[in-house]
Structure 1
């Protein structure tokens, strides 16, 4: 390995920059997860059963992604953020408190994707430029999944 390469053969400086950006994504996902969990618990109304299950799917998927992002940061040789203070200070997604309306919850989810998708696209470009296929594949998968979810949630709102 060259002296500017990390253990997996990637440029150390590029990996550091990617890790910083991945920590931003990790923070955003932690708040997105907490919001989805709150929507699951607090949802009310005639679409309760449908949305209760949908929000459970969403927070379970977010939990998997949180773990994948943290493990990717570790794989690159850096430390994932792991305190609520770090997450709340860094996340562009804000806590949605006491949301029980399905329509409001879906709007909050869509606002979350307005933060996540551009950041994932930025990471996709960065990882492509640095030949980091591991991060690139994760971001590509996330983007594809979330574009479909944006379409579905928007269709639910009839927007």
Structure 2
């Protein structure tokens, strides 16, 4: 069995990198969706949501970088073109969303899809004995579950 520079099986690292690129691509779409709702939100909740969406897209941008760096750490190459992102992203594109409820539902649904990818990665990283990816996914999952809970609480008004 061949090991990479950090002691993981090369074939398992390749599989992780493939899935991490799906997550990276999906996060890029999520990030751009957040920018769109941040720019286009209208109505009485504008000020609160405008700030919240900025907080979320800033966090998503940081996570994009963390995912790309994890891919590099595992010996892979992170995707970096919109063409690549759109070809493998699992998230819908939110276009021209300016209504608060629609924006929040887009975020909740996007986070649900990200959680599916992350849980799959968590399983793969556990099998590969890849604590770095495992820890990253665990942190992402915990944060996103909390965000979904808060967004769903907001939707209940």
Q: TM-score, normalised by structure 1?
A: 0.97
Residue 153 (1) aligns with residue 146 (2)? no
Residues of 1 paired with 2:90 and 2:118: CA distance? 13
**Corresponding residue for residue 75 of structure 1:** 73
Secondary structure in 2 matching 1:106: helix
Q: Determine which of 29, 33, 38 is the counterpart of 1:40.
A: 38
Instruction: Extract structure 1 runs of 4+ deviating beyond 3 A.
Output: none
Superposition deviation, residue 31 in structure 1 = 0.2
Stretches of structure 1 that go unaligned for 5 or more consecutive residues are none
**Corresponding residue for residue 132 of structure 1:** 130
Residues of 2 paired with 1:41 and 1:145: CA distance? 24
Superposition deviation, residue 92 in structure 1 = 1.3
Stretches of structure 2 that go unaligned for 5 or more consecutive residues are none
Superposition deviation, residue 128 in structure 1 = 0.8
Superposition deviation, residue 37 in structure 1 = 0.4
What is the count of residue pairs matched by the alignment?
157
**Corresponding residue for residue 63 of structure 1:** 61
